[in-house]
Amino acid sequence: MEKNIDRVVEILDRSHNTVVVTGAGISTEAGIPDFRGPEGIYRKLGENRVMKIINIDFFRNNPLEFYKFYRQYFIFPPVEPGKAHQVLAEMEKAGIIKAIVTQNIDNLHQKAGSQKVIPIHGNGARFLCQERNCRSVHDSNYVNTYPEVIPRCSQCGGILKPDVVLFGEHIKNYPDAMDRILGARVLVVIGSSLTVYPLAGFVKEFSTFTQYLIIINKGPTPLDHAAVVKLQEGNTGELLEEIFEKIKKRRKQ
pLDDT at 170: 87
Residue 177: pLDDT band (50, 70, 90) is: very high
Average pLDDT, the chain: 90
In the chain, where the domains are located: 1-32+82-121+171-253
pLDDT at 39: 64
Nearest to 154 by CA among 138, 131, 141, 140: 138
The pLDDT tens digits of the residues spanning 87-97 come to 999 999 999 99
The pLDDT tens digits of the residues spanning 43-77 come to 778 878 888 999 999 999 999 999 999 988 888 77
Answer whether residue 34 shows pLDDT above 90. no
Residues written for the chain: 253
* CA gap 100, 118 in Å, rounded: 6
pLDDT at 237: 93
* CA gap 143, 151 in Å, rounded: 6
Q: Which residues are annotated binding-site positions for Zn(2+)? A: 129, 134, 153, 156
Answer whether residue 81 shows pLDDT above 90. yes
Q: Which residues are annotated binding-site positions? A: 129, 134, 153, 156
pLDDT at 47: 79
Q: Count the neighbouring beta carbons within 10 Å of the beta carbon of residue 44.
A: 12
The pLDDT tens digits of the residues spanning 117-157 come to 999 999 988 999 999 889 899 998 898 888 889 999 999 99
CA triple 26-109-44, angle to 5 deg: 40
pLDDT at 238: 94
Residues labelled as active-site residues? 121
Domain 1-32+82-121+171-253 has CATH 3.40.50.2300: no
Helix (H) or strand (E) holding 142: helix 140-143
First-to-last C-alpha distance (Å) of the chain: 24
pLDDT at 211: 78
CB 136 within 8 A of CB 142: no
* CA gap 91, 48 in Å, rounded: 38
Name, in order, each residue with C-beta under 8 angstroms of 148's C-beta and a sequence gap of 6 or more.
none
Question: Chain-centre distance of CA 56, in angstroms?
Answer: 20
Answer whether residue 108 shows pLDDT above 80. yes
pLDDT at 2: 78
